[in-house]
């Protein structure tokens, strides 16, 4: 095992690897970034896969509204009942709820699900039927498919309105995704940390600072052996939009 996972020099300043993590880092020219070989998984990472111009337009595109002052509003202060009245131009954002210890709680982020007809998805007791693709999502999808030589039929959008919105430790291992899915995660807006650890570990082993336009691709057996999270960060005041492109098994 020592020969398989020798020490490596990091190419990106946005990756932090814990001393106990056994990984190998290689160049990934297809995305202008790094390939990170894990014990039981594989990641690709690019700091700036999408240009600043694309990032700026996508941040606007994802929150444009016909009846709301979307350029100046503090979205974290908009209650769920008022959110339902917002006429978003491009994305049908929604507030989902989960049951925890017999009580219903709002999911600590807004979500939307888009994809091919029949590409429905269920996680944490929440079932989502796909909205039809729009031009902005198809543009991102085409860029990712060309670089990764993978076909995606769906995308989950997460809107972290500020540092109070988060994502708990989990793996994307739902049956609809298959055993070794390729999931491409792109980010726009505020920089947030993206953490990884083995399923049987107690401490984080990898941390990514996801800048606007960054890309993380989870491949191979990653979902079987690793979990990931986006922790709360009090100092983050603005929005981060995360889009994870997937291939759902359509029955």
Residue 114 in marked binding region: no
Residue 188 in marked binding region: no
Residue 9 in marked binding region: no
Residue 122 in marked binding region: yes
Residue 228 in marked binding region: yes
Output the CA–CA distances (angstroms, integers) from residue 76 to 46, 61, 117, in the order listed: 29, 18, 32
Residue 97 in marked binding region: no
Residue 160 in marked binding region: yes
Residue 61 in marked binding region: no
Residue 103 in marked binding region: yes
Contact 44, 216 (CB under 8 A): yes
- Going along the chain, which residue ranges are E strands? 15-17, 24-28, 33-38, 41-46, 97-100, 103-106, 110-115, 121-123, 126-128, 154-160, 167-170, 183-189, 192-198, 206-210, 215-219, 226-230, 240-246
d(CA 127, CA 148): 28
Residue 173 in marked binding region: yes
Concatenate the DSSP letters of all residues of 56-87 into one string.
HHHHHHTT-BSSS-TTT--GGGS-HHHHTT--
Residue 245 in marked binding region: no
Residue 105 in marked binding region: no
Binding region for substrate: 101-103, 121-123, 173
List residues forming the annotated binding site for 2-oxoglutarate: 158, 160, 170, 228, 240, 244, 246
Residue stretches of the annotated binding site? 101-103, 121-123, 158, 160, 170, 173, 228, 240, 244, 246
């Amino acid at each position: 095992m020592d020969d398989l996972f020798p020490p490596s020099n990091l190419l990106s300043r946005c990756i932090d690897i814990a001393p106990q993590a056994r990984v190998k880092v290689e160049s990934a020219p297809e995305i202008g970034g790094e390939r990170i070989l894990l014990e039981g998984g594989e990641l690709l990472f690019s700091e700036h896969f999408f240009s600043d111009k694309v990032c700026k337009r996508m941040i606007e595109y994802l929150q444009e509204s016909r009846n709301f002052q979307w350029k100046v509003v503090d979205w974290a202060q908009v209650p769920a009942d008022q959110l339902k009245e917002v006429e978003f131009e491009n994305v049908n954002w929604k507030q989902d709820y989960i049951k925890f210890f017999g009580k219903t709680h709002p999911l600590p982020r807004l979500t939307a699900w888009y994809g091919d007809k029949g590409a429905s998805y269920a996680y944490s007791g929440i079932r989502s039927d796909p909205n039809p693709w729009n031009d902005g999502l198809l543009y991102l999808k085409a860029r990712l498919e060309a670089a990764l030589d993978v076909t995606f039929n769906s995308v989950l959008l997460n809107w972290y309105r500020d540092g109070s919105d988060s994502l708990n430790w989990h793996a994307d291992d739902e049956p609809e995704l298959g055993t070794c899915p390729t999931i491409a995660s792109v980010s726009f807006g505020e920089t947030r940390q993206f953490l990884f650890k083995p399923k049987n570990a107690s401490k984080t082993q990898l941390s990514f600072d996801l800048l606007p336009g960054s890309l993380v691709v989870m491949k191979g057996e990653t979902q079987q052996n690793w979990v990931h999270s986006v922790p709360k960060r009090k100092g983050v005041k603005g929005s981060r939009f995360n889009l994870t492109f997937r291939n759902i098994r359509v029955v």
